[in-house]
Chain A
Amino acid sequence: MTEKITVAITGNPNVGKTSIFNAITDSKQHVGNWPGVTVERKIGKRVHNDIEMEIVDLPGTYSLTAYSLDEIIARDFIIEEKPDIVVQVIDATNLERNLYLTTQLMELGVKMIIALNMTDLALAKGDSIDAENMQEFLEIPVVSTIGSKGNGIEGLLDAVAGEIDKTQFTESVFTYEEEIENNADELGSILGTDPYFAHYPLRWFSMKLLEGDENIIKKARESDSYTRINEILSKIDADSLEAKIADQRYKTIQAMLRQVCDINTEHLSGSDMVDRVVTNRVLGIPIFLSLMWAAFEITFTFATPFMNIIDIFFGWLAETATNVINIPWLASLVGEGMIAGVGSVLIFLPNILLLFFMLSLMEDSGYMSRAAFIMDKLMSKIGLHGKSFIPLIMGFGCNVPAIMATRTIEDTRDRLITILITPFMSCGARLPVYVLLAGAFFGRDAGVVIFSLYAFGILVAIVSAKLMRSTILRGEDAPFIMELPSYKIPTLKGSTIHMWERGKIYLKKAGTIILIGVVGVWLLASIPAPGSGGIFASEEIYGSTNSVIGVIGVMLEPLVAPLGFDWRIAVALLFGVVAKEIVVGSMGVLYGVGENEASLSAVLAAGAMTPLAGLGLMVFTLLYAPCFACIGVIKRETGSWKWTMFQLLYGTGLAWGSAFVVYQVGSRMGLLA
């Protein structure tokens, strides 16, 4: 009979947990979110020696005192869900700090194994580590691995299989000075008699109480023995004890390291040399900007041919479907609704895959934290973290992957603000709208107008971030305590897996929302308005004032009239929520010139709209509700309809206000008349 066990993989950030996880599960894995939050949950399966292992890749954590959402999840998983065994992945080139987490895990009394990872890099650096000696000292199995090459994985699994049947727990080898031990014993004996704590490892819980861990004290407060616990805690000076505990953990680690390894401190690592150039006072920013530009160019230039192919393919498919299906309304639903809808989702896929490939290269190489280091000062001025910069820049290409890229931001509040302001970065799909309108109304100055729109978007994003920071998302700035990991050469396998995971997430979630949205809009445009006498989904009805959407447009007209827009623009903007490019196409249909942009431009220039209204329309298109794909991703990444609706209403409100000012103030002042 096969045994089933759960194996949790934990460790500091950047130690190669994911490469170990990928090597063990060999792509038999699935990615989802932890229940209720948007932190990624990766689970894979592996059968080894007749044991069925469910492998859970936990988010990176530096200690079991949880600060970020990632860390709370990692800690709660180990403590509350009690995996059968915990594998801690340790960066062999950075033993001292990595072992700090080990001391805490050992206090939990869980069965654990150490995967001493990146041993090749440690060797290259001139360190020698005696894994056997370390195993003896810690009394837990230590297995050397090189995750990126898949070395040592079998040994690791053997160790898991061997350890799982052991019944005896390893006692913590970490002891503290008398005062701490006495207090811990005293607390332990109180906790031991209270069934409320039966769920927790007592020694660990006592140590956390002594350290003054706020979450733990909150938990203790709900118990019956809290008065007795508090008696002990009030006697001690938690602040000094906390420093002592951390200090003694590190001292024990140092004592062990002296015995088991020889670390070459003289070595000037390649990382330091790279950093001298990359984060240099003068060169740092130009290098950063060039790399950003290159990533951006590669993403969006390489994606274009694939996007064209997808576009042509779906155009052909829609036409074929329309020709083959004899029932006109069904042909229209399948052709103009569903196939066009699926196409409008898939067309972004090359963008998303490439962008995530580039981001993954930057993340895995260690450059991403340098980028945050370089840009932090600038971003902190608007109340954000250095890591918010990259998603915002990526927003100029397409807001959808940009919002997904905010996952690298640990602080939830910073991340939420970044998600909410990213749609103000003018994405590629808004450009056709600008080109049409600026061309029609501003002739030679079109370039300046378009540039100003991009700049205006950035300004709105900055002001919005400051505003949200000081009102609805107020809070202390998250402390900026960030590791700058050593540079590593990213692996093709790692980056490809990462890229494909994102692609799948996008297709699944954003896809369903877009499809529903597209079919919904098609229905509204196809259903004849009551009493109009038209035929469902006929060419005369589709999108005209006799369709439901036309009626809605007419109803909305008073709302947009102060902006200088008529019902046609209202309808085009409604369609534009599906995808911004559609604004141009819909205006073509509604003004009766079809897809011909030159004649549309001529109609507009001839007075169908005033230049001021045209400028207002561009500003409106920039700021109002983003496209369906983007709405879907905002919902997914914030995990909340409330924040999604907030973005839509805030953006649309700003759009209306700005277009109003442009049109009303402009025409009063006689501008552009």
Chain B
Amino acid sequence: MNEKTLDFIEPETSVKVLKVAGQKSSRKRILDMGLTPGTRVDVIRRAPLGDPVEFKLKGYNLSLRKREAGTIMVEILE
């Protein structure tokens, strides 16, 4: 299976969001920011010190710490 959490995805990879877990408040925020199931997310790059990570979705750029990215289940798009 190609299912992983978002923090394990290498830069320059595109994924599709499957599910957002995590605690109530950050989960809701993540959904509000557009990371709803089915959304395509491009992993752009990691910060120079390795964390946080920059993503592109819905035409804008978002950055999440690995901790938050780890609550998002995704599927790698070929």
Contacts and interface: CB of A to CB of B under 8 A. Distances in A.
Given A97-B33, A247-B37, A377 B52 contact: yes
B29 A480 contact: no
A243 B39 CA distance: 12
A97 B61 CA distance: 11
B24 to A, nearest CB: 7
Interface residues of B, number: 38
Contacts of A329: none
Contacts of A279: 45, 47-48, 54
Interface in A376-393: 376-378, 380, 386
A302 B27 CA distance: 46
Contact of B60 (A97, A280, A374): A97
Contacts of B63: 369, 373, 480-484
Interface string B39-78: 1000011111111101000111111110110000000000
B26 interface: yes
A212 interface: yes
Nearest to A63: B32
Interface in A251-294: 263, 265, 271, 275, 279-282, 284-285
B59 A263 contact: yes
B48 A284 contact: yes
B65 to A, nearest CB: 4
B6 interface: no
Contacts, number: 130
Nearest to A62: B32
A196 interface: no
Nearest to B19: A243
B8 to A, nearest CB: 18
B34 A100 contact: yes
B77 to A, nearest CB: 15
A597 interface: no
15 contacts: A62-B32, A97-B59, A242-B28, A247-B38, A250-B34, A275-B44, A275-B45, A369-B63, A374-B49, A479-B25, A479-B29, A480-B65, A482-B62, A483-B33, A483-B61
Given A250-B58, A484-B62, 12 more contacts: A97-B34, A97-B59, A100-B34, A214-B25, A243-B31, A246-B31, A279-B54, A373-B54, A476-B23, A480-B52, A483-B63, A486-B60
Nearest 3 CB-CB pairings of A with B: A377-B49, A479-B26, A284-B48
